[in-house]
């Protein structure tokens, strides 16, 4: 099976899984070989059978302190990250499917949220669904199968309405909590300041998942609100903590390996300067219209632009202490 071309691999993975089941003494090495082969393919797509077999045999790769976590050391970090991505994609898809099934009308708001976060699944090292009481006590066969499928990977939400739910997402050193019901913001937390304990199966809505004090302690002025063109604001917020969509993140990693020297950009008639990556500096020079320096009169230093900057430029300017005000430009 591992010697097959990429085009034929998925169709024959079940043969390899069956071999692992029939020879339990060699199951770990067979599963490791299968996963490494899938990870080495050009476009590794999820295989439900292989994923469930790995979870049953080795446990959740997202739980580094579990009693079976050492088994994941049999595969490369790339292969382990692939499984984490599969789990993140599955959790996101099911989270928003559950929301959709509970609404009487389709809501573009939820579709936009799903489309936004799926751009980061390649970097999500941990995801977890936290379900409300209505799902926990449901006797519907589909719901029971859903809960059974995530045995050990679910939590229960308390202190809120029965139909509410949440998803926890870890990207790099940061956590982001989204809720099912409309009107809830996204709550960002630094890993060492998160107000919830992952070992607890029940989590309180207000005290642990929607904790504004922990958001501010993490360095954010407020929560991330889904209003207007919120995707661009979210991109800028994530860029400030060096989180980028999957494709951009790979490009940035490659660029950083090339160790490109920053370029100095003068602003405010030479009164200030910025050190920006070459590509970002080029964009700023291209869209920059003029600088307005009102600081001697107690005002702001503005870098006015004639078109909307990219999320990457907004992120770099944010790091330099500027804020973006659409449509005028950057100020500090």
Sorted by where each begins, the domain ranges of the chain are 6-58, 84-226, 261-331
63 C-beta neighbours (distance < 10 Å), count = 17
pLDDT value at residue 234: 93
What average pLDDT is seen over the chain?
A: 87
Which pLDDT tens digit goes with each residue over 264-315? 778 877 667 777 888 888 889 989 999 988 888 888 889 999 999 998 899 8
- Adjacency order of strands within the sheet including 202-204: 187-190, 174-179, 165-171, 124-131, 154-158, 202-204
> Would you state the pLDDT for residue 321?
80
Q: Give 189-199 pLDDT, tens digit per residue.
A: 999 999 999 98
Percentage of the chain lying above the pLDDT 90 cut: 50
Q: Give residue 315's pLDDT.
A: 86
CA distance 230 to 75: 39
Give the CA diameter of the chain.
Answer: 79
């Amino acid at each position: 099976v591992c010697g097959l071309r990429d085009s034929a691999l998925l169709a024959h993975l079940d043969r390899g899984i069956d071999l692992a089941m029939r020879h339990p003494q060699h199951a770990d090495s067979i599963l490791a070989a299968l996963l490494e082969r899938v990870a080495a393919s050009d476009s590794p797509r999820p295989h439900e059978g292989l994923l469930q077999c790995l979870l049953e045999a080795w446990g959740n790769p997202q739980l580094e302190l579990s009693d079976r976590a050492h088994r994941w050391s049999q595969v490369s970090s790339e292969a382990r990250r692939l499984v984490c991505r599969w789990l993140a994609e599955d959790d996101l898809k099911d989270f928003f499917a559950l929301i959709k099934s509970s609404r009487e009308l389709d809501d573009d708001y939820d579709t936009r949220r799903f489309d936004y976060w799926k751009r980061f699944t390649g970097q999500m090292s941990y995801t977890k669904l936290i379900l409300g009481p209505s799902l926990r006590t449901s006797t519907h066969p589909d719901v029971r199968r859903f809960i059974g499928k995530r045995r050990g990977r679910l939590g229960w939400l308390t202190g809120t309405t029965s139909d509410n739910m949440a998803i926890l997402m870890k990207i790099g050193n940061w956590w982001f909590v989204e809720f099912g019901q409309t009107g809830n913001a996204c709550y960002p937390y630094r890993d060492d300041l998160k107000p919830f304990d992952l070992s607890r199966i029940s989590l309180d809505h207000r005290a642990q998942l929607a904790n504004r004090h922990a958001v501010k302690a993490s360095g954010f002025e407020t929560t991330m609100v889904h209003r207007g063109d919120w995707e661009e604001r979210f991109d800028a917020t994530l860029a400030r903590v060096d989180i980028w969509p999957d494709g951009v993140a790979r490009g940035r990693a490659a660029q950083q390996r090339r160790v490109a020297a920053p370029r100095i950009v003068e602003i405010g008639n030479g009164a200030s300067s910025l050190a920006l990556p070459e590509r970002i500096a080029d964009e700023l020079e291209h869209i920059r219209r003029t600088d307005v320096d009102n600081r001697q009169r107690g005002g702001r230093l503005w870098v006015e632009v004639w078109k909307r900057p990219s999320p990457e430029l907004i992120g770099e300017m944010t790091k330099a202490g500027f804020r973006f005000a659409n449509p005028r430009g950057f100020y500090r």
